[in-house]
A and B are shown apart, each in its own frame.
Chain A
Amino acid sequence: MNDENEEANAELKTQKDQDDVSVGSLQFQEFGNGNPATTIPLDAGEIGDAGLQTNRGVPISFDSADEQEDTASNLLTNKRKKNMPMWTFDYYMQFFDITTTQVLQRITGSVIPSFQGNYLRKYIRSNPDFYGPFWICATLVFTTAISGNLADYITHAGDHQWTYDFHKVTAAAGAIYVYAWLLPVLLWGLLWWRHDTVGANITEVVCIYGYSLSIYVPVSILWAIPFEWLRWILVILAAVSSGLVLVFTIWPLLKHENRQMATLISLIVLALHALLAIGFKVYFFGSVGKAVLNSTSIASPSTWTTLTPMTL
């Protein structure tokens, strides 16, 4: 960080010397586009001083080439991480250096697919965080388990012997955390193994995956409504929407691959994303089919249509 500052200051100084500057006169300096040294040096001081200032001195050049920006950003983030040893608390604080508005922006961005695939560049590149992935996964675990129990309760309405299954929470937690944290590491590892360079560092990939799960939170709450067609529509909509964002975001990282491999990897990513949603639907809410045949309740409308042919 200090080297970066000195470098930038030195750059500014030499440029000033080259121009004809008299003492006390102001001149606008021309700075080249995409030059990674032209950063505004920020102090690595108080965390969360004010809005944008907390993102530590990353070049925000809007019209630079992708390549330069990638390498510059990687350089800075790698440098930043190396400054603190892994066993201090402060090392982990850098992953939580985020404001409420940024988190909300990232969540909304993860739901709306854009064909330029610039979710990574727009939202995450400056400051990948672990707050979003961790708490979105935690929320998803609990909303899925609670909705599953709620759906179960609704189909058994009137039956007071119904007991809830608390241990579904552990199953849900295992599946979600493995998907959201292990899979990005595997993907990043695969790309790194094949090409020695990946367009994003590992925290950014984890961040993308974590935020892409955010659409499933309201969907899992809506799954409690006991209409099968509604549930399937919700699954498809959510999987397609956030799956597309995921694929569009990851696509630039695959530019070193040939076309078939890149398509294959994208399809696998999309398929696993959809599989997670479908898996939840079947595991937590798929018991509707069995319960209808077994229960003696007549409260819910879906049981009328299936019990009448049986009683005939």
Chain B
Amino acid sequence: MASPRPVSPRFDHSDSDEDEESQRVHGDHQVDESHFDTIDEPVSQTLLRDLKSIGQKFLHVFYVKQKISLLRNWDLWGPLILCGAMALLLQGNKADNVNDGGPQFAEVFVIFWCGAGIVTINSQLLGGRISLFQSLCVLGYCMFPLVLALIGCRIVLMLPHTSGLFVLRFCLVILGFCWSTFASTAFLADTQLSDRKALAIYPIFLFYFVMAWLVISHT
């Protein structure tokens, strides 16, 4: 069973020359970890390095200037965390087993990963120069604004329902959706040919639209 590939510690600028060289060589594809000798350092340091990398990627979703971290040093931890959080938060409140109409926990996973997979295959079929996992990484991390909107909506739902609060939730979700689409477009648009950009971006728009609909419909 494949687990999400842990991030390789290449962004740490205090690395030795050997690491610099393998950073240049290994470019876009997967890294074999035998070049990095982390056997001597404490476990906490290894873990913290990975966690720092994931945290940095989350920040880069909002501050889109630096594209390298998501594209070159891709990892799937962030998407997994976000997908799990979303699936948890979208659970209904009904205690009994009656289908309350919303998606089940596993259904959210299926929608998320299959949707991202289909969007990625589409952009590859259109001739885009991006690999499967890079695209999955970008699409997953760019879900972050929508998950924040979902958290906001859950908080708002704790107050008594009024239509004013519905408008507030709606605005939150629209904001999250627009930011997600904008961020992923900023990362992925350059990988497409110029006369097909709209064809590649439309499925991304549709994907985040469907996720936004899941968020707003959750009551």
Q: Which A residues are within 8 Å of any B CB, using their own CB?
A: 47-48, 50-51, 89, 92-93, 95-101, 103, 131, 135, 138-139, 142, 146, 149, 160, 162-167
B193-214: contact bitstring with A at CB < 8 Å (1 yes, 0 no)?
Answer: 1011111001100100110011
Across the interface, do B198 and A100 meet the contact criterion of CB distance under 8 Å?
yes
Which B residue's beta carbon lies closest to that of A99? B195
Q: Which B residues are within 8 Å of any A CB, using their own CB?
A: 99-103, 107, 122, 124-127, 161, 193, 195-199, 202-203, 206, 209-210, 213-214, 217, 219
Across the interface, do A142 and B206 meet the contact criterion of CB distance under 8 Å?
yes
Given contacts A97-B127, A100-B198, A167-B101, 19 further A-B contacts (CB under 8 A): A48-B193, A50-B195, A89-B124, A89-B125, A93-B127, A96-B122, A96-B126, A96-B127, A99-B195, A100-B195, A103-B199, A131-B199, A135-B203, A163-B100, A163-B102, A163-B219, A164-B101, A165-B101, A166-B107
Residues of A contacting B161 with CB < 8 Å?
160
Set B101, B125, B196: member contacting A92, Cβ < 8 A: B125
Residues of A contacting B126 with CB < 8 Å?
48, 96, 131
Across the interface, do A100 and B101 meet the contact criterion of CB distance under 8 Å?
no
Residues of A contacting B127 with CB < 8 Å?
47-48, 93, 96-97
CA distance A51 to B196 in the complex (A): 10
> What secondary structure prevails in chain A residues at the interface with B?
helix
Across the interface, do B199 and A166 meet the contact criterion of CB distance under 8 Å?
no
How far in angstroms is the closest Cβ of chain B from A127? 13
CA distance A47 to B199 in the complex (A): 15
Residues of B contacting A131 with CB < 8 Å?
122, 125-126, 199
Closest 7 A/B residue pairs (Cβ): A96-B125, A163-B101, A99-B195, A48-B193, A100-B198, A165-B101, A164-B217
A selection of 15 A-B contacts at a CB cut-off of 8 Å is: A48-B196, A50-B195, A51-B195, A96-B122, A100-B196, A135-B203, A135-B206, A142-B206, A163-B101, A163-B102, A164-B217, A165-B101, A166-B103, A166-B107, A166-B214
Across the interface, do B210 and A100 meet the contact criterion of CB distance under 8 Å?
no
CA distance A135 to B161 in the complex (A): 37
Across the interface, do A48 and B103 meet the contact criterion of CB distance under 8 Å?
no
How far in angstroms is the closest Cβ of chain A from B173? 13
Across the interface, do A100 and B199 meet the contact criterion of CB distance under 8 Å?
yes
CA distance A103 to B126 in the complex (A): 13
How far in angstroms is the closest Cβ of chain A from B110? 11
CA distance A131 to B102 in the complex (A): 30
Across the interface, do A160 and B206 meet the contact criterion of CB distance under 8 Å?
no
Across the interface, do B125 and A93 meet the contact criterion of CB distance under 8 Å?
yes
CA distance A165 to B67 in the complex (A): 39
CA distance A50 to B193 in the complex (A): 10
Across the interface, do A166 and B102 meet the contact criterion of CB distance under 8 Å?
yes
How far in angstroms is the closest Cβ of chain A from B132? 11
How far in angstroms is the closest Cβ of chain A from B133? 16
Across the interface, do A138 and B219 meet the contact criterion of CB distance under 8 Å?
no
CA distance A92 to B125 in the complex (A): 7
Which A residue's beta carbon lies closest to that of B162? A160
Among B99, B122, B126, B206, chain A packs the most CB atoms within 10 A around the CB of B126
Set B99, B103, B125, B217: member contacting A149, Cβ < 8 A: B217
Across the interface, do A138 and B206 meet the contact criterion of CB distance under 8 Å?
yes
Set A135, A146, A163: member contacting B202, Cβ < 8 A: A135
Across the interface, do A98 and B199 meet the contact criterion of CB distance under 8 Å?
yes
Across the interface, do A166 and B206 meet the contact criterion of CB distance under 8 Å?
no
Q: A135-B203, A166-B103 are in contact. Are A142 and B209 (CB under 8 A)?
A: yes
Across the interface, do B219 and A160 meet the contact criterion of CB distance under 8 Å?
yes
